[in-house]
Amino acid sequence: MKRGAPAAGFTLIEVLVALVIVAVGMAAVMSTITSSASTLSFLRDETFAQWVALNKIATIRLSGQQPAVGTTTGDLDYAGRSWHWRQEVAATEVQGIVRIDVKVRPKEVVAGDDAAWTTTVSGIYGNALATRADPAIPSWGAQNAQNIGPQNPNPTIGGATNMQITPPSGLGSDDSGFGSPDTGLGSSLGSPPPQQQPPPPGAQQQQ
């Protein structure tokens, strides 16, 4: 009697190799998913932190009171989480204007004063622009626009001397001959041409 053909199938080594390939592929997929989730979480925290910092600067500007130079810290709740902020106010070279730097990070992050901040937003506050009784005349801090009006056509701005604008001599004046009535150039533009008078009868007989 003849023996039957061996049954077809996978050997143990082939199964182990297949399992190894599947495990490596699944590890790569899981690593990609974890990295994407971490990036999305970081971007969400950074967006909320920027909003917190912008709200702090906007609140200072709306208060109408210039903040004192120095550093302040605090905590607040926003978007269902607690945030820790640090506000640094420094004077600038322009008198009356200060720079505001607000740093924000999640409250659960424990780190030093100069590390692990999620975001930093900078802004300025100053009194270079102030309200006046006349809204048509702005106030530029120390450089005040004075004596501007019909009574004084030559204003003084920022302490500068009065400036008068005069046309160059000889341009458009009567003695320059340019645009004056005696030349007929410029003064007759847009006017009808002069009519020629007929000669007297005696002048035709003499010719």
Q: Where are the domains of the chain?
A: 12-126
Q: How far apart are CA 167 and CA 185, in angstroms?
A: 19
Whole-prediction pTM? 0.51
* Confidence (pLDDT) at 124: 92
* Neighbouring residues of 177: CB distance < 8 A, sequence distance ≥ 6: 183
Q: Could you tell me the two tokens for 155?
A: 């204003």
Per-position pLDDT tens, the chain of length 207: 455 555 567 788 888 999 999 999 999 999 999 888 889 988 999 999 999 999 999 999 999 888 999 999 999 999 899 999 999 999 998 888 999 999 999 999 888 777 889 999 999 998 755 555 555 555 555 544 444 444 444 444 444 444 445 555 554 445 544 444 454 444 444 455 556 666 666 555 544
* Confidence (pLDDT) at 89: 95
* Confidence (pLDDT) at 155: 46
* Confidence (pLDDT) at 162: 44
User: Is residue 139 within 8 Å of 132, Cβ to Cβ?
Assistant: yes
* Confidence (pLDDT) at 94: 86
Q: Are strands 119-126 and 139-140 parallel, antiparallel or unpaired?
A: unpaired
Distance of CA 89 to the CA centre of its chain: 21
* Confidence (pLDDT) at 7: 59
Q: How far apart are CA 141 and CA 49, in angstroms?
A: 34
Phi, psi of 155 (to 5 degrees): -75, 160
Domain 12-126, architecture per CATH = 2-Layer Sandwich (3.30)
* Confidence (pLDDT) at 207: 45
183: number of CA atoms within 13 Å, CB side? 13
R_g (Cα) of the chain, nearest Å: 42
* Confidence (pLDDT) at 144: 45
What DSSP element (H or E) covers 144?
Answer: strand 143-146
